[in-house]
Structure 1
Amino acid sequence: MKNLLRRIRGALGMGLAWAAVGFLAGMGLELIHNIWPNPILAEVDIWPAALAYPGFVGGIAFSAVLGIAGRRRRFDELSLTRFAVWGALGGALVSLVPAAMVALGLATPNESIVRITLALLGPFSIGGAVAAAGTLALARRADDRELLAESDDVAEVGLDEAELKELLGGR
């Protein structure tokens, strides 16, 4: 049970982190539109929310993909390319949300659901890949800082000559 709760907490944390990045990107787009109005950005009224919600769902979807595909691997064992592909897969899953809503009777499309899904597939897959690559880079950076902080404690311990020989295999 503890393991399941830990996974849920991790998925929610990933979703919130991706939502925060989506919100900030949306604020940037909103700022650009307020300074330089254009018809493309005028299509969406509230860009921060329009990018934060899919970011949250995408973070959770990516967390599920990572839990299945990257099981029992540490971050330093995963390649950036593989991580980005998994992020793209998580983004592709998010593009299926409108189709799922229509299938469950929660939404009525005014356009073909296939067209809507295909229109979302590219941007969400690319966004998922970029977010996943950024997540891995950030996790590796945090691991590096943690190792550097711990290395100070190791240096203070020190080894005498006999311990050093034993550590090196008797050489």
Structure 2
Amino acid sequence: MTTWRRRIRGAIGIGLTWAAAWFAAGMILLAIVGLDAADVPFPLFFGFLGFLAGATFSVILGLVAGRRRFDELSLPKFAGWGALGGLLLSVIVALAAGPGGELLVVGPVFALAGAISATGTLALARRAERRELLGTGQADALELPGGER
């Protein structure tokens, strides 16, 4: 598979993962505000925004992280890149919504959601990587926190 196909497939995968998480957040919001607000499809809208934020984050990750493996990336940097992706998405949403002060409200919320989603993505990727190592019998190569093996 060509490099571009793998990158596009990865961006779609991260976008779909984030869409599922943000869809769940929309379901929670819908449960909080009640079904009276059913005319506003929170879960679908949040899922769509989650997909866009995940794809944006994937582009940032590709530009900044390069070819580094997940175990070489730090959690705070990953969260920062996720926050940057959420902030970029909030700028796009604010520009699409027209003039107003929505960016001051939406920006920090999207940045926080992007940071949380990015840390979750890194945790899932590291877990999958560990499982893969355990499945191939290379468990001795795992380094645990504190220098344990």
Q: TM-score range by the shorter chain?
A: 0.7 to 0.9
- More displaced 10-residue stretch of structure 1: 89-98 or 42-51: 42-51
- Would the aligned equivalents of 1:44 and 1:50 in 2 still touch at CA under 8 Å? no
**1:43/1:31 CA distance change after superposition, 3 Å:** closer
Of 71, 74, 80 in structure 1, the residue corresponding to residue 69 of structure 2 is: 74
Deviation at 1:118, TM superposition (A): 2.0
Structure 2: any 5+ residue segments left out of the alignment?
141-149
Determine what percentage of the aligned residue pairs are the same residue.
48
User: How many pairs were matched up?
Assistant: 140
Structure 2 counterpart of 1:130, one-letter code: I
Question: 1:34-49 counterparts in 2 under 5 A?
Answer: 34=34, 42=37, 45-49=40-44
Counterpart in 2 of 1:163? none
2:88 to 90, 93, 102: 93
Q: Could you tell me how far apart the structure 2 residues matched to 1:27 and 1:118 are?
A: 24
Q: Which amino acid aligns with 1:151?
A: G
In the alignment, what sits opposite 1:11?
11
Alpha-carbon distance between aligned partners in 2 of 1:74 and 1:126, rounded to the nearest angstrom: 24
Partner of 1:61: 56
**Cα-Cα RMSD:** 2.4
**What's the CA shift string for 1:106-138, capped at 9, x where partnerless?**
x6x3xx34x122221000000000000000001
Deviations 1:79-126 (A, max 9, x none): 10000000000001100113443xxxxx6x3xx34x122221000000
1:124 aligns with 2:119: no
- For residues 14 and 132 of structure 1, the distance between their equivalents in structure 2, rounded to whole angstroms, comes to 9
- Letter of the 1:60 partner, please give it: A
Secondary structure of the structure 2 residue equivalent to 1:151 = coil
Counterpart amino acid of residue 52 in structure 1: G
For residues 96 and 46 of structure 1, the distance between their equivalents in structure 2, rounded to whole angstroms, comes to: 22
Query: Scaled by the length of structure 2, what TM-score is found?
Result: 0.84
**TM-score (structure 1 length as normaliser):** 0.74
Cross-structure match for 1:139: 125
Where 1:96 maps in the other structure, the secondary structure is helix
Structure 1: runs of 5+ lacking an equivalent: 102-106, 155-171
* Structure possessing the higher radius of gyration over alpha carbons: 1
Per-residue deviation at 1:5?
1.5
